[in-house]
Chains A and B, each alone.
Chain A
Amino acid sequence: MIRSEILKEIAPILRDQLVVCNIGIPSQELHAIDDQPTNFYMLGTMGLASSIGLGLALAQPKPVVVIDGDGSVLTNLGTLPTIGNNCPDNYILMIIDNGSYGSTGDQPTYTGMKTDLAGMARAAGCETVIEVQDVDTGPALQAALDSGKGTVMVVKCDSGNAKMPVITMDPVVIRDRFMKAVAS
């Protein structure tokens, strides 16, 4: 499976959650599949989805699901110790690990070679780290939400992107409707 197929499958689970979605094609795919006011789309700033989601989870009690990528986590590796040492129970970091920089033309990342993101998360102090195959993402995400434990999920899947339109919504509109959904 590629990322967009996973997103299609888990859209019914994501719909009821606060979601912080990674820059580029992941946000375009989620936006096209199931746009919701509870989705915060990153339009820039590669790497910070996990940090934005962590700040959000620490600031309020609702569950937060971060949809991140292998390339983005690699660009902000300092996030893993911060998560490991501060992880609240309402925080789920789902790293869609397709071993490539999808939004820039599928150049390979090191996670498709020797680097093991789940191992790095554990070494950084993250207590609940699970590795999931693409086909099992839905049940694993639901189980993580039901567990009420902060979780890092590394979802192994194939490299590739769906053709989706660029998000043209104004960033302040995205942010404002998201904040209203958070507060409601």
Chain B
Amino acid sequence: MNIDKRIADELVANDVSFVTTVPCKQLAGVIEEIDQRDDIFHIPSNKEDEGMGLCAGAWMGGKRPAIIMQNTAIGVTINTLATLIQYYRMPLPMIISYRGELREPVACQVEMAVHTKALLAQMNIPTYHFHWQKDVEEFDNILKYTFMCNKPVAILTDANFWGGYGDQ
């Protein structure tokens, strides 16, 4: 299974047509896949809160958005999640590279990894953790759930899900 293609396919199948990204090494393949899709408008953002602003506007304009980012971005976007996405009740699938988990080579990444689920839980953000490749089977249901309830929803995807990080 090509995981990058599968994720892009599910986005398209769920009518997600506006995707903003802040890169991560683990996400390089899926970002490239999304960039090549004609049915998805891909707009890179410089910071994740900016990206959430773009997604909020796109959704109000009639397009289903998604953001692709690293878990370090949870530290950047708490205020935006609370006072924009949640306060105005907007749907936002967040496909998050879960750095600092098993098979992580960079120690500093663990420092945000240990806070990631706690912060998401504190924000009452529905959170799913993809650890095995087969976990992607739930992605379609998660997208449907997100646009049903108009909430930000986190999909944490760790190094094991992506088949390891570099040579680890």
A: residues with CB less than 8 A from B are 20, 40, 42-45, 47-60, 76, 78-79, 81-82, 86, 171-172, 174-175, 178-179, 182-183
Q: How far is the CB of B23 from chain A (nearest CB, A)?
A: 14
Which of B18, B43, B58 meets A82, CB within 8 Å?
Answer: B43
List the 3 closest A-B pairs by CB distance, nearest first. A55-B57, A44-B83, A59-B61
Assuming the A-B contacts A48-B50, A82-B45, are A59 and B57 also in contact, with contact meaning beta carbons closer than 8 angstroms in the complex? yes
Q: How far is the CB of B82 from chain A (nearest CB, A)?
A: 8
CA distance A101 to B45 in the complex (A): 25
Which of B56, B82, B89 meets A55, CB within 8 Å?
Answer: B56
Please name all residues of chain B whose beta carbon is closer than 8 Å to the beta carbon of A82 when the two chains form the complex.
43-46, 50, 54
Please name all residues of chain A whose beta carbon is closer than 8 Å to the beta carbon of B79 when the two chains form the complex.
44-45
Q: Does B93 contact A (CB under 8 A)?
A: no
Assuming the A-B contacts A58-B43, A82-B43, are A53 and B89 also in contact, with contact meaning beta carbons closer than 8 angstroms in the complex? no
B: residues with CB less than 8 A from A are 18, 41, 43-47, 49-63, 65, 79-80, 82-84, 87-90
Q: Can you add 15 more A-B contacts, CB < 8 Å, to A50-B53, A55-B61, A171-B89? A: A44-B84, A45-B83, A51-B51, A51-B52, A52-B57, A52-B84, A55-B57, A56-B61, A59-B59, A76-B53, A78-B47, A82-B46, A82-B54, A178-B60, A182-B62
From A80, which residue of chain B is reached at the shortest CB distance? B46
CA distance A165 to B44 in the complex (A): 37
Assuming the A-B contacts A45-B79, A78-B46, A81-B46, are A59 and B88 also in contact, with contact meaning beta carbons closer than 8 angstroms in the complex? no
Q: How far is the CB of B156 from chain A (nearest CB, A)?
A: 24
CA distance A110 to B112 in the complex (A): 32
A45 touches B80 (CB 8 A): yes
Which of B45, B51, B55, B57 meets A20, CB within 8 Å?
Answer: B57
Which of A40, A55, A178 meets B55, CB within 8 Å?
Answer: A55
Which of B62, B65, B83 meets A183, CB within 8 Å?
Answer: B62
Q: How far is the CB of B152 from chain A (nearest CB, A)?
A: 13
Indicate the member of A40, A51, A60, A178 with the most B CB atoms within 10 Å. A51
